[in-house]
Every structure is written in C-alpha cells, then in structure tokens.
Chains A and B, each alone.
Chain A
C-alpha cells in the first residue's frame, strides 16, 4: 500500500491534522496553551465571532423579525429593498431577509449535524481499521478509496435523485460522503498509536481490543478529529448549497440559501441584485467562519506548528 497525498501532507495546510504527544500518563492535554494559541490567531477569533453572529441571526432573528415564509404573495413579488422589506422580496413575494434567516437554519443544522455524524463514523472506522489491520483494514480502506474517487457533488446528486430529499435524508447523504477523510486521518494516527507503550500496556494487562480503541486510541486522536470535523462543516454547507442551487435539494416552500440563489439567476439581467448577493454572502461568510475556526484549532492543537 502506498502513501496517499492526504497522508503525506496530512499535517499541512488545509490537510487537516493535529496531534499532541498522547502519553496516557500525562495530565489532560494542554488545553490552556491551545486556547491561548487559538485566541492569538486573529482569523480564528474573527471566524468564531462570525459564527456567533450567524447563529444569532438565523435562530434568534426570526423571533424579533416576523415574516411569512409559507404562503406566497405575488402582489408583492420582486420589490426592491425599502420600507417594510429591508432586503426586498423574491419572485413569489417572500421577504428576502426573513428567508435568509430561515434558509440559514437549514444550512447550519444540516451542515453541523452531517459533519458530527460523519466525524463519529469516520473516527470509529479509522480507529478500528488501524487497530485491527489485516483484512478488515484492507476492506474498509478500499471502500474509502473508492468513495473518495467519485467526485462528491456527483455522488450527492445521484443519491438525491434516488431518494426524495428531506432534512434528515440530506444529513445522512452528506454524512455518508464526508466520513472518508476523517477515517483516513484517524487510521494513520492509530497505526502509530498502536505501537506505543500505553496501548501495549492495555494488551498486556489483559484489556480487550475494544477497550484499547475506545479508551486509549480514540481519545488520543481527538485533536485531529475536532479539526477535521470543523472543516467538514464548511465542506458540507458548500455541498448542500451546490445541491440546492442545482434544484436537487429540499423543494420549496422550505427555504435554503442555494435555492434562493438559483431563483435569483433568472433575474440577473433585470438587476435584481438582492435576490443574489445576500444569499451568496451568507454562504460565503458561513463557510469562511468554519474554515477560519478550523485553521485556528489546527494551529492550537498541533504542537509541531506551535513550536515553529
């Protein structure tokens, strides 16, 4: 088996990996030092602040700013921003600002839920494959290789045309494609952890494989897992937006940012910028926030970078 680029460069930029020297005997990982590094990273703090604002906007916003996002009102269609509609209305008369909040809820819920699910599955698969080795490892890793060679958007589209999209289904579908990188990274770390004395000690003391994996190996990969999970949210939100943009996500009246953009496309020549720019910026800022946070976490959790 050969090295893949991700494993080779796993510790590098955008490659998502973090590692702290995981001695079982040492006290809790250096959370304080990590937190300090994170806070010193201006982009990471910016990302965290952005995320807080976005969550407030999407989930608290609708409590203060009431709009009708269920029934259409064609008499109010395509109004430019102005009194009563700060960001105008769309082609069927939905208030764009209110729709932005509703669409954000779906994006954030699906993005975060699918990333969490994918991270759990990826961690378990990676740790089990790396710890057991042999046939199980070879089989699992060939499945990972296979799924990784199919461009993600194509696979999501095929799945979305096979099943009827709903929030729960999209979480499952996106998670089904996103556990792969996490599994690879965790497997690579497990391979080196497996040879360490503290894992050896579990075996010598008569501990079962399950105990070694759950209590000793997975906790030591937690840095990698957190960082990879954060980037996973960004990827999931982009993937979801692409699917919605192509008209293959959750159908209206449910709101989503990608879908708002795809209706805006029809009005490019009419200069209805409010149908395109707000939704596009919302996606951009959300993805950016998670990427900044992920990058900050990687710097904070990876000792190698900190010492440099």
Chain B
C-alpha cells in the first residue's frame, strides 16, 4: 500500500507541474503580450513599458515562471490586472461559495444516482430500465444553462417557489439561512452527475451480478435482497470512487455556467468576469486552482478505491 501511495502521489505532483507549465505557457500565447491585451490598442509605448516593468514581464521566461510558481506556492496567486487586489484575496471570498455549491451537488447526485443505477441494474432491459436509460441520457445531454433557465421560468417566474438568484450573502451562515435560494443552482448542477453516477452504477452492479460470489451466496441460501445489499453493493461502489474523481473537472466547468445563470457570486462568476475583462492573472490562477482541486480530488478517489479493493494496489504496467 505504501508503494502504491508513493507512486500515485509522485504522479500527482508530476501532473501538477505539467499543468503549471501549460497554464503559464498559455499566457505567452497572447499576441502582443498581456500589456497590449489589457491596455488596448490606443496605449502609448510609455504606458506599455510601464505595465511591462510593473508586472515584471521583461524578465526572462524561466524566471517569470519561477516567480509565478513562487506566488502560487505562497498562496498569493499574483496580482489582478483590473481589481488592484491580490488574486488570492479575490478567490478567498469566492471559493467557499463554490465549494458549498459543488459539494451539495455531488451529495445530491450520489444520493439519487446510485439507487437509481442499482434499480436499473436489477430490472435491466425491462421497460423501467429503458425509460430511465432514456431519461439519464437526456439529463446527460441537456446543457446546464438551458436547464437552469427552464427551472427559473417554471419555478421562480411562473410560480414563486424559489428565488431566481442564488444566495448573495458573503458568510457561510448567511448562505445557509438562505438555503432556499441554493436549491435551484444545486439541482441544476447535480443533474448531469445523477445521469453519470446512475449509468456507472448500473453497469458496475450488472458486472458484479454475474460474478461467482453472487452464485455462491445465493446457493448458500442468502436472499436476493441480502446478496444485493451485503455483497454486490459493496463491490459495485468501489469503482464509483474513481468516477467521482473524474466528475470533478466536469463539476467545476459546470459551476462557471450555473453561477452565471443564477448570479451566484462564487469562483465561477469571478472567473467569468475576469475572462470578460481580460484579467489574465485571475483567469490563470483560478484555472490552476481548479486543476489542483481536480488532481487532489482524483488522488483521494484513487486512494479510497485502493483501500476498498486490494487488487488495484498490485496492478503494475
């Protein structure tokens, strides 16, 4: 297990270094450099030179990369071009909101997706399974902004069950007291996850139902329900951990759109505003942070998988 942990950890560090090189490299692709992009075509050469000096863009590239990495590691994440604040302080306000939204969505997606997938597997190829397969494909294919808008029209404009905007409070307590406003964004973000988890759970349970241990348990007199819950469920859940890891980047992409639709001031909305204003340090820092969350998330998921299924630890290629 230690060997596995070590190799997996090393892999995560390498991936993060690759990500940081990619993200840093993106900024170098800017035609005319960030100064021209931020100050516009009418900026005088003096202003450009000033900007370049102020943000240290005249230093050699490897040095700029190291300085940028230094900012990342120390947690200051650079200085916003438009907000006159460190990117870290911008993100600090917003990150908890995005975390509340995404964690609530994952929990909802698991609570609905896993049981649905299990029922589908047990009743596979019957009409119930076919109908829910159709539904989960539809959920998987619906763009979250369309879904969000439809929910707003139906439940916030036609009948006033929920507010059309996400909670605007700044503290955790404020957001939680306005929980009603959080429901529509969470449901919108969770629906894709429900489709994903139910599909994987369905195939995972089907794969396990044909295993020898199921026949053995049945032969020893265990009832259908008992075999399903005590034996199959445990084994079928393990691979779901990795799907959870894969779902993270999808979730963070989704947060950008859902926060936009519901005007929920989290990291996704901050990212969007930064993109519209061409505030590259903020854009890149959030991209980097999202990648970090993804890498750490899938690392944890893989470790959970390896703990629950010893066969994984010995796989070497």
Contact surface of A with B, Cβ cutoff 8 Å? 1-6, 8-9, 12-14, 43, 142-143, 145-155, 157-163, 191, 234, 238, 241-242, 245-248, 258, 261-262, 264-265, 268-269, 271, 273, 276-277, 279-280, 283-284, 287-288, 291-292, 295
Closest residue of B by beta carbon distance from A270: B157
CB distance from B278 to the nearest CB of A (A): 6
**In the complex, B14 has a CB within 8 A of chain A:** yes
CB distance from B229 to the nearest CB of A (A): 22
9 nearest interchain CB pairs? A5-B242, A146-B18, A280-B146, A153-B253, A287-B141, A151-B249, A288-B141, A151-B252, A151-B253
Highest count of chain B CB atoms <10 Å: which of A2, A234, A245:
A2
Closest residue of B by beta carbon distance from A242: B257
- Bound CA span A149–B301, Å: 14
19 pairs, CB–CB < 8 Å, chain A vs chain B: A1-B317, A14-B140, A143-B18, A150-B294, A151-B291, A153-B254, A158-B284, A159-B26, A191-B317, A245-B145, A247-B276, A261-B145, A261-B146, A265-B149, A265-B261, A268-B153, A280-B149, A283-B143, A288-B138
**Which residues of B sit under 8 angstroms from A284, Cβ to Cβ?**
138, 141-143, 146
CB distance from A268 to the nearest CB of B (A): 6
CB distance from B271 to the nearest CB of A (A): 7
**In the complex, B290 has a CB within 8 A of chain A:** yes
**Which residues of B sit under 8 angstroms from A269, Cβ to Cβ?**
157
- Bound CA span A164–B96, Å: 33
- Assess whether A43 is in contact with B246, with CB atoms less than 8 Å apart: no
Q: Given A2-B7, A9-B239, A150–B152 Cβ distance below 8 Å? A: no
- Assess whether A5 is in contact with B239, with CB atoms less than 8 Å apart: yes
- Assess whether B315 is in contact with A246, with CB atoms less than 8 Å apart: no
Q: Given A158-B275, A287-B141, A292-B137, A148–B249 Cβ distance below 8 Å? A: yes
Q: Given A12-B203, A265-B149, A268-B157, A2–B8 Cβ distance below 8 Å? A: yes
**In the complex, B162 has a CB within 8 A of chain A:** no
Q: Given B196, B253, B276, which contacts A152 in the complex, CB threshold below 8 Å? A: B253
**Which residues of B sit under 8 angstroms from A158, Cβ to Cβ?**
26, 275, 283-284, 287
- Bound CA span A133–B146, Å: 44
- Assess whether A13 is in contact with B203, with CB atoms less than 8 Å apart: yes
Highest count of chain B CB atoms <10 Å: which of A153, A154, A269, A295:
A154
Closest residue of A by beta carbon distance from B144: A242
**Which residues of A sit under 8 angstroms from B30, Cβ to Cβ?**
162
**In the complex, B272 has a CB within 8 A of chain A:** yes
- Assess whether A264 is in contact with B252, with CB atoms less than 8 Å apart: no
Q: Given A2-B4, A5-B245, A273–B137 Cβ distance below 8 Å? A: no
Highest count of chain A CB atoms <10 Å: which of B26, B141, B152, B252:
B141
- Assess whether B294 is in contact with A5, with CB atoms less than 8 Å apart: no
- Bound CA span A295–B275, Å: 35
- Assess whether A12 is in contact with B204, with CB atoms less than 8 Å apart: yes
**Which residues of B sit under 8 angstroms from A258, Cβ to Cβ?**
143, 145
- Assess whether A142 is in contact with B141, with CB atoms less than 8 Å apart: no
- Assess whether B15 is in contact with A287, with CB atoms less than 8 Å apart: no
- Bound CA span A153–B283, Å: 12
**In the complex, B150 has a CB within 8 A of chain A:** yes
- Bound CA span A163–B30, Å: 7
Type the 1/0 row for B276-312, where 1 means its CB is closer than 8 Å to any CB of A.
1010100110110011001100100110000000001
- Assess whether B249 is in contact with A43, with CB atoms less than 8 Å apart: no
- Assess whether A142 is in contact with B271, with CB atoms less than 8 Å apart: no
